[in-house]
Amino acid sequence: MKRLFALVLIIALASITWAADDDKYQLLDLQPYANQPRGESLGSGVEGNNLAKLPGGEQTFGEVKFKIGEGVMHLGSTVLDRHPDKVEGIKVDAKCSKLHFLQATCFGGGPNKPGNVLHVPDGTLIGEYRLTFEDDSTLAIPIVYGQDVRDWFYVEDEGAPSRGKVVWNGENDRATLVGAKIRVYLTSWRNPKPDKKITSIDYVGKKGETPAAPFCVAITLEK
């Protein structure tokens, strides 16, 4: 009887924890805004250069829940013309204390060294998330190379960003061919206006200014 009671108690506590997590996070659906299947080649489109091995569905990275769909939002750059400079009107309609971004960029580092046209210096602004609140005020969250993200390709001696965190490492055929691996990063941002509803987010790049071509895999709001 004691064992049965203990088992019931464990199940009940687990249910409470799961419910608390569900109440804590709001996982945005980015699929209506996605312009790049993650199972198909990103960046320059070279065969085998994809995010197919990144787990899909509801996943936890860096202790944050995310919803990983079949597509990602991929912005263009000076060397990638086929993608847009921005994705506008991502619907939110919610309040939050924090926002979490699962993201990276094509080009910038990895096997690309200074002097190469695909290299991006640390400190370069490569994009931003522009928030619009219910009172029509706006706020920009910068995406800075070397701070929030680095190239999704990386080599052994390449460090992590100073502000973002590496939360997934993997591989694909193209990366293996050039002696690299792939990874994605988590950037968390504390909202200075937690009592105001965020109505929408615009994902904006620097297509005409940098070879970095950012992509966003998922966005989560923390209540």
Per mean pLDDT, which range of 65-74, 108-117, 141-150 is the poorest? 108-117
Average pLDDT of the residues in 54-75? 98
Categorise residue 126: left if φ over 0, alpha if ψ from -120 to 50, beta otherwise. Answer: alpha
> What's the pLDDT at 23?
85
Q: Is the pLDDT of residue 114 over 50?
A: yes
Q: Alpha-carbon distance 95 to 21, whole Å?
A: 16
Average pLDDT of the residues in 10-34? 69
> What's the pLDDT at 157?
87
- Domains (range + CATH), the chain: 26-222 (2.60.120)
pLDDT band at 126 (very low <50, low <70, confident <90, very high): very high
Q: Is the pLDDT of residue 60 over 90?
A: yes
Q: Is the pLDDT of residue 19 over 90?
A: no
Q: Is the pLDDT of residue 7 over 60?
A: no
> What's the pLDDT at 2?
53
What does the mean pLDDT of the chain come to?
Answer: 92
Average pLDDT of the residues in 58-77? 98
HEC per residue, the chain: CHHHHHHHHHHHHHHHHHHHHHHHEEECCCHHHCCEECCCCCCCCCCCCCCCCCCCEEEEECCEEEEECCEEEECCECCECCCCCEEEEEEEEECCCEEEEEEEEECECCCCCCCCCCECCCCCEEEEEEEEECCCCEEEEEEEECCCECECEECCCCCCCCCCEEEEEECCHHHHHCCCEEEEEEEEEECCCCCCCEEEEEEEECCCCCCCEEEEEEEEEEC
